[in-house]
Amino acid sequence: MTAHTTPGRTLRPTPRRRTGKLTIGAAAAAVALAVGLSACSPSSGSSDSGDTSAFTVARTGDIDKLDPQLATAFQTQQTLGLVYSSLVKTGADGSIQPDLATQWTTSQDNLTVTFSLRPGVTWHDGTPFTSEDVKASLQRILDQATGAVARSNLTAIASIDAPAPTQVVLHLSKPAAALLYSLASVNASIVSAKDIAAGTVGKVPDGTGPFAWKQWDQGQQVVLTGNAKYYGGAPAIDTLTFRVIPDEASILNGMKAGAFQIGQISDPGIAQQAGSGGPFNLVKQPALAYHTLMLNGRRGPLQNQQVRQAISCAIDRDQVLKTAAYGDGTVTGPITSPAFQYPATDGLPCRPGDVDAAKQMLAAAGFGGGFTLNTIVETGEYATAGAEAQNLQAQLAKIGVRLELRQLPTSPYVQAWLAADYDAAVALNGGSYDPYLMYGRYFGTGGSLSKPGGIESQALAGLLAQGNSTSDDAQRKSIYGNLQKQLLTESPWVWMFRSDDYYLVKSGVQGFTPRPDELLTSLAAVK
């Protein structure tokens, strides 16, 4: 999901936990617990000596599944993105780089892409990696029965050949400008053909990435081990532990106590308390992910475009940003891709925050008396969700739209989100360097996440298809500018702001580089 790609922080909305303030006693107890766990666990944090052989990352959310092709929660993608590899990958700057494929060529008509695969790669269980694994993986994604998140991004693939163990050829039914970005996602991870045949994908992870799977103690921790045979070089980290600490204040206190090497923070208030210096440094990274109020346009009054526009016009985005995130972020329109920047509200029929205009629009649509929206709010992954929901509730009450908030932990939230079991959803969705990947899965023809997308629109599907069919930069920029305007006109969601991610990094840790897409791939280079 964004979900959650986030369900989408991609593809998923990938909500994080709203953290409360601990009492001094509770905070001390939490730190004592963290330190105690660190001291007795084989995956405990290393000392100040600079030794990174055992490395602990603290975060508030747990993973929710073991299949990378089905992953929508950010924590799940972050973790499985270290276990599995893809044909290509994106650099921190958004550039496409080799991964399992060392090079690729595209035919003159843009309908055939040939990949040369890296020789000598093995799966974590020792089995050789070959082109048959790539073929089986992509066929599994394209099989509708799999329910793969990336399926709709790869439907241009008509057939796949594996003419040699180190060569794969993709035959396309139409040009697909975003194909390489699609293949670079965690949701397009290459899994073992042997595991696909045995039906064990999603049970015991077996990848080719820098870290191998060791154990998952649900709700507590995930433990990975360094892959000494990794083709990118053996990681300096021998044991990597993702520790689930339910409260970000406890993560901060644990960092002060030296219990963790990295603490992931999403609450700007906690980040302000943290500062920098001493035993750790605060690292801030603007994210591609965006905060949104998703409206289910297949239900009740929300089927009316004018009603959705009224809701969008009533909400002052800057007020939500200041209330929920201390103003630490940027008000945004639908597209957050750095190379595709457009006016944030061009396409809306009125100025956001114009309550009187919103009331008039509701009355004209026949809903002047208002109505209630069953609204889901995630409570397990990102800190601002609760404050966002409460502010939205207060703002929309001014036009008679009542948000009935239903708070759900991560797993039930993701299930409800995927099934579109809501009228509205407070969500954090993953962005992308390519606009097609942001919205093709929601609003494109046959989109993998069309249910939470909330509406079916020929106009949106047409613009997405146009943008993905040309590689001309000027044409794509123009088409996606029209896409942003059309998204705001149809108002399937209310786009609010793009936030920042925060990392508390223990002094002495070298090589960690945060990314706009929130992946933690640089852990393979930490020293």
Give residue 47's pLDDT: 38
pLDDT over threshold 90, residue 145: yes
Q: How large is the average pLDDT for residues 172-198?
A: 97
Q: What is the DSSP letter of 81?
A: H
Per-domain residue ranges of the chain? 24-83+203-287+501-525, 88-198, 290-500
pLDDT over threshold 50, residue 124: yes
**Model pLDDT for residues 347-370, shown as the tens digit of each residue:** 999 999 999 999 999 999 999 999
pTM tops 0.85: no
pLDDT over threshold 50, residue 42: no
Query: Mean pLDDT of all residues in the chain?
Result: 89
Give residue 2's pLDDT: 35
Give residue 451's pLDDT: 96
**Which residues pair with residue 500 across a beta bridge?**
286
Give residue 216's pLDDT: 97
- Give CA–CA dist 13/441, Å, rounded: 13
**Model pLDDT for residues 60-86, shown as the tens digit of each residue:** 989 999 999 999 888 999 999 999 999
Class of domain 24-83+203-287+501-525 (CATH, top level): alpha beta
Read off the pLDDT band of 93 (50, 70, 90): confident
Q: Is pLDDT larger for residue 136 or for residue 7?
A: 136
Give residue 72's pLDDT: 87
Q: Which of 414, 32, 429 is nearest to 245 (CA)?
A: 32
- Give CA–CA dist 318/498, Å, rounded: 11
pLDDT over threshold 70, residue 318: yes
Q: Which of 419, 417, 445, 421 is nearest to 429 (CA)?
A: 417
Identical fold, 88-198 and 290-500: no
- Cβ(387)–Cβ(15) below 8 Å: no
- Give CA–CA dist 394/468, Å, rounded: 39
**Model pLDDT for residues 406-447, shown as the tens digit of each residue:** 999 888 999 999 999 999 999 999 899 999 999 999 999 999
- Give CA–CA dist 116/168, Å, rounded: 7
Give residue 51's pLDDT: 66
- The 3-state secondary structure of 83-119, one letter per residue: HCECCEEECCCCCEEECCEEEEEECCCCCEEEEEECC
C-alpha pair distances (Å), 424 with each of 100, 300, 306, 315: 40, 11, 16, 14
Q: Indicate the CATH number of 290-500 among 3.60.110.10, 3.10.105.10, 3.40.50.261, 3.40.50.970.
A: 3.10.105.10
According to CATH, the topology of domain 88-198 is Dipeptide-binding Protein; domain 1 (3.90.76)
What is the end-to-end Cα distance of the chain in Å, rounded? 32
Give residue 50's pLDDT: 55
